[in-house]
């Protein structure tokens, strides 16, 4: 029942926002690309691009490789279609939640901005206790569940090598990852944004290029691949006969895990961006969903499906991708996938940590001290270490359950507060029609009594 409710909420909200915003993921897609290149409104703050890279660091991760491959192996090619559906409508949800994060963001002592769902729940709904529960759920989800999955997946990738030892290798992988993460998160948001701004675009472009080579080599199989995706997506007997393991269920779960639209994670990064109008960053975060699912997840799916390698219970996740790449790249394919997964997992780990630290301040109700941050950062690294020793089902199920809790809080919240985002969107569109660079004025948008930063 929990799973069915989650699916209904996500798809229902996505369709509602898609209609309410007048197909915004399509009509303002070009505008979202333009906004990414804008300089920060405050030169000392985080730019739209850096905030995009922080959220994309979390979105573009092991889910784009191992998650997609697991869905195909266990649910069939049809799962790819349902990933697309989640992204298509989820992009509208991503826009609304990130625009709200910008509207209700706060100004730090240093003049920078911060915020996220916990803050718009507190200010918009005036329910600080619910914001507190959400903040705790997010910390548990990202430092706990999702980082367990990322660390586990890296370990799982090395399981295909002859040197792998179940008694030793997981601890080595976990230890190295933990130390790398600890070194990266020590400098705070400035260092995190610098690392992700360099690594994320580079690794994404290289990975897509390598996938395209494999797809081009198997280009004659692509028409049949698309036919199978659509055929099995609507195999309703298979879908409802074994719903939990169906293409529909796995596609939605893995699609959600990958692009996180509606979960309430990306708004934490969106709130840190310095822009002249909240809608600008909402559009940028919407673009992140397209990059994640429509580009990177699709590249993985087509590369695996066109290779002819059959996945299943015994061949799923990263080993399936490695086997597919070996059909074109030979033994180098195994190493290339391993490198890609290590980079994707690393940026995911530090992106996830950023979300968690952004909510630590809300939980503490004050600026974290150096002792607070020391304890929190070390604890986060320890969880990364133990993730490499976890079981497959434990890692993924923990992430799914914790993510679901966030959705059950965030989606109803953004539905209730959506009028504020819609009013901001109308204001943005009007200023664009008038040939202006949109600037947000809280009083004009009817929320001046609730805001901090935009005063």
Give the pLDDT score at 244: 46
Rounded to the nearest integer, the mean pLDDT of the chain is 81
| Candidate ranges 26-35, 135-144, 334-343, 417-426; pick with highest mean pLDDT | 417-426
- Alpha carbons 220 and 223: distance in angstroms, whole number: 7
User: Higher-confidence residue: 306 or 341?
Assistant: 306
The answer to whether the beta carbons of residues 428 and 103 sit under 8 Å apart is: no
Proportion of the chain above pLDDT 90, given as a percent = 20
User: Higher-confidence residue: 136 or 443?
Assistant: 136
Mean pLDDT value of segment 172-189: 77
- Alpha carbons 408 and 8: distance in angstroms, whole number: 11
- Alpha carbons 50 and 40: distance in angstroms, whole number: 10
Give the pLDDT score at 253: 64
Q: What is the pLDDT of residues 34-66, one digit of tens each?
A: 887 777 666 656 677 777 776 666 666 666 777
Give the pLDDT score at 418: 93
Q: Is the pTM of this model over 0.85?
A: no
Give the pLDDT score at 373: 83
User: Higher-confidence residue: 18 or 256?
Assistant: 18
Give the pLDDT score at 164: 80
In this model, does residue 393 exceed pLDDT 80? no
| Band of residue 156 on the pLDDT scale cut at 50, 70, 90 | confident
| Coil vs helix vs strand at 113 | strand
- Alpha carbons 51 and 70: distance in angstroms, whole number: 29
- Alpha carbons 296 and 290: distance in angstroms, whole number: 9
- Contacts of residue 112, Cβ cutoff 8 Å, sequence gap at least 6: 42, 44, 45, 46, 272, 274
| Band of residue 252 on the pLDDT scale cut at 50, 70, 90 | low
Give the pLDDT score at 86: 81
In this model, does residue 307 exceed pLDDT 70? yes
In this model, does residue 4 exceed pLDDT 70? no
| Candidate ranges 103-107, 219-223, 353-357; pick with highest mean pLDDT | 219-223
Give the pLDDT score at 352: 81
Give the pLDDT score at 445: 78
Least confident of 80-84, 247-251, 308-312: 247-251
Give the pLDDT score at 29: 85
Mean pLDDT value of segment 273-280: 88
Give the pLDDT score at 2: 56
- Alpha carbons 11 and 252: distance in angstroms, whole number: 9
In this model, does residue 316 exceed pLDDT 90? no
Is residue 330 left, alpha or beta, with left meaning phi > 0 and alpha meaning psi from -120 to 50?
A: left
Residue among 250, 276, 230 at smallest CA distance from 113: 276
- Contacts of residue 171, Cβ cutoff 8 Å, sequence gap at least 6: 385, 388, 389
Mean pLDDT value of segment 15-29: 90
Mean pLDDT value of segment 140-154: 80
| Band of residue 241 on the pLDDT scale cut at 50, 70, 90 | very low
Residue among 382, 361, 384, 356 at smallest CA distance from 192: 356
In this model, does residue 138 exceed pLDDT 70? yes
The tokens for 245 are: 């393991």
Q: What is the pLDDT of residues 438-452, one digit of tens each?
A: 888 887 777 766 677
CA angle 409, 398, 55 (to 5 degrees): 60
Mean pLDDT value of segment 132-144: 88
Proportion of the chain above pLDDT 70, given as a percent = 82
In this model, does residue 30 exceed pLDDT 70? yes
Least confident of 207-221, 240-254, 407-421: 240-254
- Alpha carbons 56 and 98: distance in angstroms, whole number: 13
In this model, does residue 130 exceed pLDDT 90? yes
Give the pLDDT score at 242: 44
The answer to whether the beta carbons of residues 99 and 425 sit under 8 Å apart is: yes
Describe the crossing of helices 331-364 and 370-387 by its angle, rounded to 10 degrees.
Answer: 150
- Contacts of residue 393, Cβ cutoff 8 Å, sequence gap at least 6: none
| Candidate ranges 83-87, 93-97, 261-265, 343-347; pick with highest mean pLDDT | 93-97
Residue with tokens 């992700």: 196
| Band of residue 453 on the pLDDT scale cut at 50, 70, 90 | confident
CA pseudo-torsion sign 253, 255, 256, 257: positive
């Amino acid at each position: 029942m929990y799973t069915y409710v989650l699916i209904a909420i996500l798809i229902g909200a996505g369709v509602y926002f898609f209609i309410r915003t007048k197909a915004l993921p399509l009509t303002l897609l070009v505008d979202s690309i333009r906004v990414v290149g804008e300089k920060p409104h405050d030169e000392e703050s985080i730019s739209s691009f850096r905030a995009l890279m922080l959220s994309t660091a979390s979105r573009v991760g092991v889910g784009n490789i191992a998650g997609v491959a697991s869905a195909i192996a266990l649910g069939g090619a049809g799962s790819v279609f349902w990933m697309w559906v989640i992204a298509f409508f989820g992009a509208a949800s991503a826009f609304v939640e990130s625009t709200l994060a910008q509207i209700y963001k706060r100004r730090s002592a240093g003049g920078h901005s911060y915020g996220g769902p916990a803050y718009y729940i507190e200010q918009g709904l005036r329910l600080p206790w619910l914001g507190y529960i959400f903040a705790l759920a997010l910390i548990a989800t990202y430092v706990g569940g999702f980082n367990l999955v990322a660390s586990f997946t890296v370990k799982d990738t090395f399981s295909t090598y002859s040197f792998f030892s179940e008694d030793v290798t997981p601890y080595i992988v976990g230890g190295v990852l933990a130390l790398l993460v600890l070194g990266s998160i020590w400098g705070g948001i400035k260092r995190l944004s610098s690392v992700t701004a360099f690594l994320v675009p580079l690794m994404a472009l290289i990975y897509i290029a390598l996938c395209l080579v494999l797809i081009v080599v198997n280009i004659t199989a692509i028409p049949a691949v698309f036919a199978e995706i659509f055929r099995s997506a609507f195999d309703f007997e298979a879908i409802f006969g074994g719903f939990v393991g169906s293409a529909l269920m796995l596609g939605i779960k893995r699609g959600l895990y990958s692009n996180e639209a509606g979960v309430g994670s990306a708004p934490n990064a969106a709130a840190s961006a310095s822009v002249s109008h909240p809608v600008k960053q909402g559009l940028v975060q919407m673009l992140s969903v397209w990059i994640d699912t429509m580009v990177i997840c699709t590249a993985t799916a087509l590369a695996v499906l066109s290779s002819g390698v059959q996945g299943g219970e015994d061949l799923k996740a990263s080993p399936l991708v490695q086997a597919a790449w070996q059909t074109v790249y030979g033994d180098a394919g195994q190493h290339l996938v391993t490198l890609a997964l290590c980079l994707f997992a690393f940026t995911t780990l530090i992106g996830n940590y950023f979300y968690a630290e952004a909510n630590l301040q809300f939980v503490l109700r004050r600026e974290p001290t150096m002792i607070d941050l020391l304890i929190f950062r070390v604890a986060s690294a320890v969880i990364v270490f133990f993730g490499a020793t976890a079981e497959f089902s434990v890692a993924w199920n923990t992430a799914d359950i914790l993510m679901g809790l966030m959705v059950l809080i965030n989606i109803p919240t953004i539905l209730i507060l959506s009028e504020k985002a819609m009013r901001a969107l109308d204001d943005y569109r009007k200023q664009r029609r008038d040939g202006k660079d949109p600037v947000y004025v809280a009083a004009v948008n009817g929320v001046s009594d609730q805001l901090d930063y935009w005063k």
